[in-house]
Amino acid sequence: MQSNPLRIGTRGSQLALAQAHETRDRLMAAHSLPEDAFEIVVIKTSGDRIQDRPLSEVGGKGLFTKEIEEALLDGRIDIAVHSSKDMPTVLPDGLALTAFLPREDVRDAFLSPKAGTLTDLPQGAVVGSGSLRRQAMIKRLRPDIEVVMYRGNLQTRMRKLAEGEVDATLLAAAGLRRLGLGGEITSLLETQDFLPAVGQGAICIESREGDTATLEKLAAIHDETTQIRLDAERAFLAVLDGSCRTPIGGLATIEGDTLQFRGIVLKPDGSEAHEAAGGGPLADAVRIGQSVGEDLKARMGPGFLAEA
């Protein structure tokens, strides 16, 4: 191993490691570097340790990033690779999201041995999901379905499905494909009916502000289109103070030189939902996301998010 390899911090799940390896491989190709120019550093997070409760009860999204960001701040790692949907909208002082890899499929995947689609499930079927957004949107579309809390890494959730603990589950299509498990997908939920989580399908890289040498390396693998879309989505989330405690979906798409954005906020039981949309030039991505967020806030009225 080289004396000063670039240290890449990541969670230890198979999906997190796949994302870290993809980042390393892209950096190797972009800079003609050998594998030993990099070191993958696995860091266990609070979110990985707590498996028996919904994240909304124990601290939200930051549980998947806190320990990794601490390692970044104190110099134990040089960059951190994350799933963008796990990232809080406010980062610790001194850190920034400095690169995004090209975005994968943003859709949620339906997996079931008993039905081809969510709408085909029998009355009273049991669906497992640890995501408040997915839980609320399932209940909105199928109020008769029983939705149960379903934590664990991707492989654990697929095993529980195979063992018959639930009749179906929803997972991110991007994660399944990154692990070579796209063949397990029964069907895909189209975004017009089932908006994804903000940032779903996008890998982001966090680093220290002012670390010029690292920023120069990352610039070679950065995908600007993904960043523009995520700028709008994260701005939307920030306006709504979005966390794992609130069912929120949002998606930015680009058509030519125009960005379109749709957002939704729901009550956890799916009984009430508010949607809004907006669009404009790519340079206005942050403003567009903020505007849709403000629009939704006005439609919901006081108390909706608190009740949610």
The catalytic residues are 86
CB count in 10 Å sphere of residue 306: 7
User: Who's near 8: CB < 8 A, 6+ residues apart?
Assistant: 20, 23, 24, 38, 39, 40, 41, 77, 78, 79, 80, 81
Q: Which residue has tokens 């790692």? A: 77
Q: Taking a C-beta distance cutoff of 8 angstroms, is the pair 189, 118 a contact?
A: yes
User: Who's near 249: CB < 8 A, 6+ residues apart?
Assistant: 133, 137, 194, 195, 196, 197, 198, 263, 264, 266
DSSP H helices, 128-223, are: 132-141, 154-162, 173-178, 212-219
Instruction: Give me 123's structure tokens.
Output: 């009355």
Instruction: Give me 231's structure tokens.
Output: 């700028």
Long-range CB contacts (within 8 A, 24+) of 179-183: 179/14, 179/15, 179/18, 179/154, 181/154
Q: Phi, psi (5° rounding) for residue 123?
A: -50, 130
Helix (H, G, I), strand (E, B) or coil at 204: strand
Q: Taking a C-beta distance cutoff of 8 angstroms, is the pair 132, 245 a contact?
A: yes
